[in-house]
Amino acid sequence: MSSVRFLTGITTSGTPHLGNYVGSIRPSVRASQTPGVESYYFLADYHALIKIDDPARIQRSTLEIAASWLAAGLDPEKVTFYRQSDIPEIPELTWLLTCVTGKGALNRAHAYKAAVDKNLATAQDPDMDVNAGLFMYPVLMGADILMFNAHKVPVGRDQIQHIEMARDMAHSFNHRYGEHFVPPQAVIEESVATLPGLDGRKMSKSYDNTIPLFASREQLKKLIAGIVTDSRAPGEPKEAEGSALFQIYQAFASEEETQILRQDYAKGIAWADAKQRLFERIDLEIAPMRETYHSLMNDPNRVEAILLAGAEKARKISAPFAARLRHAVGLRSLVTSEVAVKKVAKSSMASFKQYREKDGKFYFKLVDASGDLLLQSLGFDSPKVAGQSIALLQQQGLGALEALAGQLEPLGSDHQEAVAAALAGMARDEK
Ligand code: TRP
């Protein structure tokens, strides 16, 4: 049963704030609990290097973000939660995609173009202080997505162009080398409003107007006291529309609670009382997570172990897939014959067939999309044992052959790579 794959990355360049929580962490954790959805969440630490050259800050941010997602309820058993730099196939795929991406397309990418335009506006060299990492950013992001053939990528509006570029990369690669990649789609959460910050503009690190997600109760209270309001006195009716305080409240409160605050605004609630209500409402949701967060922050070993386990899970997919991609572009053994190459090409959509012969025994075979035989079993006394052997092949690929010696017909040398590719393709569809 194949399911819809969701994937998103979080750049490890800062400390999570309430805007990240409402806009990304909370909806993602909820989505990951939906049946039929396979989720990939990762810490985009290679991306962070584009902006940050402070190693301690990268490390600290990686821990803070990982701890935040886990504290918010992400279940690493249900999703694949990993650190980008633990997956060596991602930079490898970045290069393969670099070679099918037009330089012109990268010239037009928003983040790079904005940096160039800023230089031009001040009559500087257009590429002053622009590192090539910023220029290549969309390709690294394309590799993140295509490595796991994600169908849906939940992102903010500013990232739509990057997803479109990833689609183009998928198409250009597929066009040259056969169908390997699923063109991904951006998912924009319309219902999740962007959260205003302390000064009423969008909450963002770059405006320095954020409320850290795991501020202490005291800090939280103090920061909320600093949210901009107008100068209306207690008793004077107040506008809910355009009130940053109201919008933040709405992002945490139920519909009824929001209605009540709206009425109280009309009745002239004092700003101090409205702030107190906001504080209590946010703290109600965050306080239980705050404890988990601090216990994780104090136990980096545990977070590290979770990320490494996630990487292991991710690499079960990325390692065989990268092997297939290398093969596809021609980075392959010199003794691979033309016949073997054709077989690999046809091996996607391969499937197992189980059947019973006149001798009363149970058999299985692996056939490719056009029905050609890739792998043939000997006879089993029970269908259950035959099924177990199939499962082992699906889980371990060619690695299972040794354990299954004596159960299979010998594998011809022209078939080896095709069988490996077919099994790698299955492991991902089967999940
Ligand atoms: N560029 C994204 C951001 O800053 C983070 C990111 C990196 C990402 N790789 C990704 C998001 C892949 C989605 C998919 O928000």
Would you list the DSSP string of 200-258? Answer: SSBP-GGGT---BTT--HHHHHHHHHTS----PPTTS---STT-HHHHHHHHHS-HHHH
Q: Which residue has the tokens 């016949």?
A: 339
Q: What is the CA(336)–ligand 1 centre distance, in A?
A: 37
pLDDT for res 431: 42
| Residues within 6 Å of ligand 1 by CB | 7-9, 11, 44, 47, 141, 144-145, 153, 155, 159
185-187 and 152-154: which strand pairing? parallel
> Which of 65, 162, 164 best tests ligand 1's pocket when mutated (most atoms within 8 Å of CB)?
162
173: helix, coil or strand?
helix
pLDDT along the chain (431 residues), means of 10: 86 95 91 92 98 97 98 97 98 98 97 95 95 97 98 90 98 95 90 85 93 97 96 95 95 96 97 97 97 98 98 94 93 83 77 94 92 92 94 86 89 82 68 42
pLDDT for res 421: 81
pLDDT for res 428: 58
pLDDT for res 430: 47
pLDDT for res 217: 96
Radius of gyration of the chain (CA): 26
Joined together, the tokens standing for residue 331 give 């980075």
- Identify the sign of the CA torsion 356, 362, 368, 373: negative
Q: What is the CA(293)–ligand 1 centre distance, in A?
A: 23
pLDDT for res 113: 95
